[in-house]
């Protein structure tokens, strides 16, 4: 059974710091991996999608990497801002099952001004 | 706004009542998904449609839950005889098929259900 774990569960940093959020999964047979942002009481906003054949994706200050063999992904946020405060979720899409994303519990990020 | 739209955003009901949620996906997306999220947890997959066909259902979707997408556009999720354990955020997502950005899901704002 695929399990997705995110570490740390919560993180508080001062504004301007670079930070790394971690995601690990137990079964390397994934179709893709997606990082989302969720603000309190809101839906999910897609940040980055990495296909299983890719190693990383970048969007602005965000960079996500994927190492399928070790079952790990990281989300790197450069020069963090208070507006980055949110819960960040990673989700894996299992090969052959394109509708079923398996989510981690998320990392709650707080960026202090 | 051309994003995924969900209605109502918040529903409070008494145990035993039926509730229905509606989702309007992004117009050119033919895949539609329902997820459930409880407090402090990541979303859990419930079911998925390609056009009007319901292709996959989670074991979480008990016989009290039914989802439809009759014309391949909007979808409804109905919960009959609600229980307190049904209290959660119900999230809808859509995605395009095709070769570009395959598998990327776009979520709505969610419908929060509170069962008293």
Chain A positions touching B105 (Cβ under 8 A) are 34, 46, 101
Cβ contact, residue pair B110, A43, below 8 Å:
yes
User: Is the minimum CB–CB distance between A100 and chain B shorter than 8 Å?
Assistant: yes
Q: How does pLDDT run across A1-30, given as a tens digit for each residue? A: 889 999 999 999 999 999 999 999 998 888
Q: How does pLDDT run across A37-83, given as a tens digit for each residue? A: 999 988 999 999 998 899 999 999 999 999 999 999 999 999 999 99
User: Is the minimum CB–CB distance between B106 and chain A shorter than 8 Å?
Assistant: yes
Chain A positions touching B35 (Cβ under 8 A) are 101
The pLDDT value recorded for residue A99 is 65
A6, A10, A44, A105: best mutation site toward chain B, by most B Cβ within 10 Å? A44
User: Is the minimum CB–CB distance between A93 and chain B shorter than 8 Å?
Assistant: yes
Q: Is the pLDDT of residue B30 over 90?
A: no
- CA-nearest of A2, A57, A61 to A27 is A2
- Selected residue with higher pLDDT from B32 and B59: B32
Give CA–CA dist A74/A20, Å, rounded: 6
Residue A83: phi and psi, rounded to 5, are -65, -10
A56 CB contacts (<8 Å, ≥6 apart)? A50, A63, A64, A65, A66
Q: DSSP secondary structure string, B16-58?
A: T--EEEEEE--TT--EEEEEEE-TTS--EEEEEEETTEEEEE-
- CA-nearest of B19, B5, B36 to B107 is B5
Distance from CA of A105 to the nearest CA of B (A): 4
Distances (CA, A) of B26 to A32, A81, B54: 21, 30, 18
Task: For B113, name the nearest residue in chain A, comparing CA atoms only.
Answer: A41
């Amino acid at each position: 059974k695929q399990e997705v774990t995110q570490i740390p569960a919560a993180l508080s940093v001062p504004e301007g710091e670079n930070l790394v959020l971690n995601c690990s999964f137990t079964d390397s047979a994934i179709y893709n991996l997606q990082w989302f942002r969720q603000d309190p009481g809101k839906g999910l906003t897609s940040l980055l999608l990495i296909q299983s054949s890719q190693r990383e994706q970048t969007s602005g200050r965000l960079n996500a990497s994927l190492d399928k063999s070790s079952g790990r992904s990281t989300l790197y946020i450069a020069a963090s801002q208070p507006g980055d405060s949110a819960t960040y979720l990673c989700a894996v899409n299992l090969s052959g099952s394109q509708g079923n994303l398996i989510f981690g519990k998320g990392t709650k990020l707080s960026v202090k001004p | 706004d051309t994003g995924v739209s969900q209605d109502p955003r918040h529903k409070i009901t008494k145990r035993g009542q039926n509730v229905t949620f509606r989702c309007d996906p992004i117009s050119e997306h033919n895949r539609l998904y329902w997820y459930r999220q409880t407090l402090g947890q990541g979303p859990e997959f419930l079911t998925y449609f390609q056009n009007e066909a319901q292709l996959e259902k989670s074991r979480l979707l008990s016989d009290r839950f039914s989802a439809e997408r009759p014309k391949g556009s909007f979808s409804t999720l109905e919960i009959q005889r609600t229980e307190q354990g049904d209290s959660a955020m119900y999230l809808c997502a859509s995605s395009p098929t095709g070769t570009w950005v395959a598998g990327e899901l776009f979520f709505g704002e969610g419908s929060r259900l509170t069962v008293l």
